[in-house]
Every structure is written in C-alpha cells, then in structure tokens.
Amino acid sequence: MAVNAARMADEWFSPRKKMDRTHHLIEKVRPGRSPEERIPAIRELGTSGDYGAVRSLIDCCQDQDPGIRRSAIEGLQNLRSGRAVGVLIDRLRDKDELPETRQHAAAALAAIRSYRAMQELRDRYADADEDGALRFFIGGELDRVQNLVSVTLGPVASSQKSISW
C-alpha cells in the first residue's frame, strides 16, 4: 500500500501533470468560449506558478471583455513575469479602460518591479493630467515597493539616501 501511495503521490506532483493541466487551461482561455468558462481558467493559470501560462494571459489582456482583461492582469501580477510589462503598461495607459483594471495593472507592474515597470509607475504618478485616484493608488504602490526594498536591504538602505523609485 505504501509503495502504491508513494507512486501515486509522485504522479500527482510530477511536472508532466502540471504541464498537462496548464495546457488544458490554456485551451479553456482561448477566444470563442464563454467568459463564465474562461475567467475561472484564467484565474487558475494565474495562480499556477507556471510561466508557460504567461503568453496566454498576455493575449487575454487584449480581450474585448473587461472581466477577462482584469482576471488576466491579476494572473500576471501573481506570476510576476517581466514579459508582461509591455501589455500591463498598455492597460495602465489606456484611459478608456475601467479604473479598477488600470489599478490592477499598476499593482502588477509594482509586483514585477523591473526598471521599465517602475519607471512607468513614476511617470504615471508624476503626470498631472492623469486621473487623481489612479495617481493616489500608484503612489501607494510606489511607497509599498520602497518599503519592501528598505526592509530587504536593511541598514545599507538607510545609509544610502540615493535609492529612489
């Protein structure tokens, strides 16, 4: 019995099973299926930890349905892949996008923390023509990232006042 259980556990957690599951979910998120079917699959891809899902989530960020776009952005925030920075910037800059979706894009960029992502957040924050609520939200994200960096670097950060986001 123990040998059988160990073999079954090995099969359950194997990379092949994870890859098969990811491919199955990628098929579910393709256009042509209902949002009711796509959104749960997008959410699962976003929490899968599988970077093979990034391309599909990026594609979903261009979808006509705002719920699909928002769910894809949330998934990209969880995966924190630098490959998503371009599409997240597009969603953040799109003034026709829903405000909460733009905020999710800002949060995803802050989670990724690449140079390009942080520069875009600083630019949006400094833009006086940008929506005030979005600027306020971005300011909070920039503060949060700064605090994470300060905690991570410890005493070194406090002695180097030149670190800025």
Distance CA 8, CA 44 (A): 23
Considering the chain, what percentage of its residues have pLDDT values greater than 70? 79
Cβ atoms < 10 Å from Cβ of 140: 15
Would the pTM count as exceeding 0.85?
A: no
| Residue 80 pLDDT exceeds 70 | yes
User: What residues does each domain of the chain span?
Assistant: 2-144
If you count them, how many residues does the chain have?
165
State the Cα–Cα distance between residues 120 and 87, nearest whole angstrom. Answer: 12
Intra-chain end-to-end CA distance of the chain, in Å: 57
Separation CA 92–CA 141 (nearest Å): 14
Looking at domain 2-144, its CATH class is mainly alpha
Span 102-141, pLDDT tens digits: 999 999 999 999 999 999 999 999 999 999 999 999 999 9
Q: If pLDDT is split at 50, 70 and 90, which confidence band does 149 have? A: confident
Average pLDDT over residues 55-83: 97
19 three-state secondary structure:
helix
The tally of CA atoms less than 13 A away on the side-chain side of residue 25 is: 26
User: Two tokens at 135?
Assistant: 């600027």
Do 51 and 15 touch, CB atoms closer than 8 A? no
